[in-house]
């Protein structure tokens, strides 16, 4: 088991879910159910409806602003900072999506990015969510330009200069490659030297796949808390939504940890 614990310690560096009952309380328009499906057993119908109400309220105000603003960059900048100020309070790794709606408004890069994605969906603005080894971020598209939404940077998280966006994306990938090389993450359990060359993840995911990453994070949180069977429940949901190789690997490992007795 000691060797396995080392592997999970490495997996936790990646940054990057009984739901049928609660789904009837969710509007199909908001898609909030994608990100709170693992919590339906613990949430009352009133809580779920309050989350949807809060979400609908901020969307409504943003739509009013959207109708009155002529500058696209000005509006998207307004969206980024208004949402961050009102909904994203305290950063904490591996929090649940519903924490955004609670008093401290805790979020991490996955849940913060997911909230922006849900907002932009409602506003009819195209975007792509980028998954890397240790981080996710969002790039919006409008009038032929890109706009960076970096949820973990409340002061300078919005950018529209192409050079700055390219530099920040390159930095994220460089950090992934550096950390992976140092930890020899690729091919960790392989004797094939060719498989041990450090690589990094840089791909785009849709909203459903982003939900998979969220539940992957929840599985890691439960595992780190020694709640192995809860971790396995989370990773199974993640794998069902987004069956990437790293999620499959974590699933196999968490199964052995949860049922080794």
| Boundaries of domain holding 106 | 2-17+24-258
- Indicate the burial class of 56 (C-beta count within 10 angstroms; 0-12, 13-18, 19 or more): middle
pLDDT at 16 > cutoff 80: no
Per-residue pLDDT tens over the stretch 190-217: 444 444 566 789 999 999 999 999 999 9
Task: Give the whole-number percent of the chain exceeding pLDDT 70.
Answer: 81
**pLDDT of res. 15:** 33
Calpha distance 159→149 (Å, rounded) = 7
pLDDT at 98 > cutoff 50: yes
Per-residue pLDDT tens over the stretch 124-150: 999 999 999 999 999 999 989 999 999
User: What does the DSSP 8-state code read for residue 58?
Assistant: H
Token representation of residue 105? 């408004």
The answer to whether 107 touches 88, Cβ cutoff 8 Å, is yes
Q: DSSP states of 172-193 as a string? A: HHHHHHHHHHHHT-TTTT---G
pTM of the model: 0.84
Vertex 206: Cα angle to 16 and 8 (nearest 5): 25
**pLDDT of res. 261:** 54
Total tally of structural domains belonging to the chain:
1
Per-residue pLDDT tens over the stretch 179-193: 888 775 444 434 444
């Amino acid at each position: 088991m000691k060797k396995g614990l080392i592997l999970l310690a490495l997996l936790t560096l990646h940054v990057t879910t009984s739901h049928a009952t609660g789904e009837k309380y969710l509007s199909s328009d908001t898609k909030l159910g994608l990100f709170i499906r693992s919590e339906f057993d613990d949430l009352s119908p009133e809580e779920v409806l309050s989350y949807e109400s809060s979400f609908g309220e901020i969307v409504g105000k943003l739509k009013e602003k959207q109708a009155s603003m002529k500058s696209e960059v000005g509006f998207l900048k307004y969206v980024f900072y208004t949402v961050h100020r009102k909904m994203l309070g305290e950063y904490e790794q591996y929090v649940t999506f519903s924490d955004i709606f609670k008093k401290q408004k805790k979020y991490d890069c996955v849940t913060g990015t997911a909230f922006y994605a849900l907002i932009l969906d409602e506003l009819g603005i195209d975007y792509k969510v980028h998954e890397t080894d240790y981080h996710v971020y969002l790039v919006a598209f409008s009038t032929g330009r890109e706009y960076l939404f970096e949820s973990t940077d409340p002061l300078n998280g919005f950018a529209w200069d192409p050079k700055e966006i390219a530099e920040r994306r390159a930095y994220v990938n460089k950090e992934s490659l550096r950390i992976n090389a140092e930890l020899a993450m690729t091919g960790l359990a392989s004797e094939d030297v060719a498989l041990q060359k450090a690589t990094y993840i840089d791909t785009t995911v849709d909203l459903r796949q982003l939900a998979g990453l969220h539940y992957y994070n929840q599985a890691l949180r439960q595992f780190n808390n020694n709640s192995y069977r809860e971790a396995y429940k989370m990773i199974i949901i993640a794998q069902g939504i987004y069956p990437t190789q790293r999620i499959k690997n974590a699933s196999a490992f968490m199964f052995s940890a949860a049922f080794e007795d």
